Amino acid sequence: MLVLGIITALALFASLLADRGRTAAGLRRGLKMFLGILPTLLNVLILVSIALYLFPKETLVAWLGANSGPAGYAIAAATGSIALIPGFVAFPLAALLLKSGVGYAVVAVFITTLMMVGVLTLPLEIRFFGRRVALLRNGLSFIGALIVGALIKVFM
Amino acid sequence: MRKLVEKLGLGEYLLAIAFGLLLLVSRLAGWDFGLGAGRNFWAYFAEMIAFLPLMFVLIGLIDVWLPKENVERHIGPGSGITGTFWIILLAMLQAGPLYGAFPVAYILWRKGCGVRNIFIYLGAFSTLKIPMLTFEIGFLGLKFSLLRTLFTLPVFIGIGCAMEWYLKGRGFTVRDPRRNGSSGMDQ
């Protein structure tokens, strides 16, 4: 985050020194694109906020912790695919799951689907890639996450 | 009413406006549903507003400065394994949730990045960002993080190859999100 800020500031500074007109054109294009996806992004965040209110973290832990075996994997994959949890919340949550007795493989499925599959962000992804490609990417990532989980089960 | 909404260009913001009203009413009436959802919303909104403007400044600058030939040569359709290496390195140096990667993918595509590398970028961005890895190692341990990384790498490279194979000759394009409606593959 801080690194991104520093890189952006340096790039902006260098660009301004090199050519102010071109910099302004670049900033305008960036802003236009931001405004273009803002409504979709807001809608996604609103849906996620409501979903997270209805299914708080504690509920997730209870679900995942109470189910072992195939049901555990299924629940981990489903919640991971749907939930949109930032990394700084997701990893402490995953550590908590491990501590409460959930296996590494289930945690791997949860983490990987969380990172790679985004059901709630699909509207946004469709804006860029179209419906078919977005669904395909998410579907393949879902299968991939299950494979990662299975491999973790073998090696961990 | 519908016409008025369309005229004002508010159609896309309809849900946001309704949600805003819900928050307002909930605050006045002390309705728990609205207050709780509102708290979540502001947390997500803070996360988004902290890094997305930076991302779009960078994207704008890349757009005006980075020469297309350069991108094409390094990560274009014929760039092979070195292209894969560069695109993964680029993704690892970034931060933020997956939705921040879509606009970057769009600008890379416009600059001539190949189909395979677009999807490898999305995979690497979502699973191998360095700021996120440090978190993962801290909370879940080095062994787990290392193994997960090791197993995820071939998975998303495979997805990139599968997408390239599937989309060949299907007129795939990463779209400008400002344009509404469908085009290309959905027709």
**Over the stretch A11-66, which tens digit does the pLDDT of each residue have?**
999 999 999 999 999 999 889 888 888 888 888 889 888 888 888 877 777 777 77
- Asked whether residue B71 falls in the same domain as residue B4, the answer is no
Is residue B21 within 8 angstroms of chain A, CB to CB? no
- Asked whether residue B86 falls in the same domain as residue B38, the answer is no
- Asked whether residue B92 falls in the same domain as residue B117, the answer is yes
User: Which residues lie closer than 8 Å to B47 by C-beta, 6 or more apart?
Assistant: A86, B97
In angstroms, what CA-CA distances link B159 with A108, A116, B108, B166?
Answer: 18, 11, 18, 10
Identify all chain B residues contacting A26, using CB atoms and an 8 Å cutoff: 60-65
Rounded Cα gap, residues B169 and B173, in angstroms: 11
Give yes or no for a contact between B136 and A132, defined as CB atoms under 8 angstroms apart: no
- Asked whether residue B77 falls in the same domain as residue B46, the answer is no
State ipTM.
Answer: 0.85
Which candidate from B64, B172, B186 shows the least CB-CB separation from A131?
A: B186
Six token digits for residue B45? 């909104």
- Asked whether residue B35 falls in the same domain as residue B118, the answer is no
- Asked whether residue B93 falls in the same domain as residue B157, the answer is yes
Q: Is residue B61 part of a domain?
A: no
- Asked whether residue B70 falls in the same domain as residue B23, the answer is no
- Asked whether residue B30 falls in the same domain as residue B117, the answer is no
- Asked whether residue B24 falls in the same domain as residue B98, the answer is no
Count up the domains in chain B and report the number: 2
Q: Is residue B186 part of a domain?
A: no
The verdict on a CB contact (< 8 Å) between A137 and B122 is yes
Is residue B5 within 8 angstroms of chain A, CB to CB? no
Which residue range forms the structural domain that includes residue B145?
Answer: 66-174
Closest CA to A107 of A140, A60, A56, A58: A60
* Local confidence pLDDT in tens for the 187 residues of chain B: 566 656 566 678 888 999 999 999 999 998 888 899 999 899 888 878 887 888 889 889 988 888 888 888 899 998 889 999 999 998 998 878 888 899 999 999 999 999 999 999 999 999 998 888 888 998 899 999 999 999 999 999 999 999 999 999 998 999 988 765 444 443 3
In angstroms, the separation between the Cα of residue B66 and the nearest Cα of chain A is 11
Give yes or no for a contact between B72 and B117, defined as CB atoms under 8 angstroms apart: no
Is residue B38 within 8 angstroms of chain A, CB to CB? yes
- Asked whether residue B169 falls in the same domain as residue B77, the answer is yes
Residue of B nearest to A120 (CA): B99
- Asked whether residue B36 falls in the same domain as residue B73, the answer is no
Is residue A154 within 8 angstroms of chain B, CB to CB? no
Q: Is residue B11 part of a domain?
A: yes
Q: Is residue B181 part of a domain?
A: no
Q: Is residue B115 part of a domain?
A: yes
**Residue ranges per domain, chain A?**
1-38, 55-155
Q: Is residue B182 part of a domain?
A: no
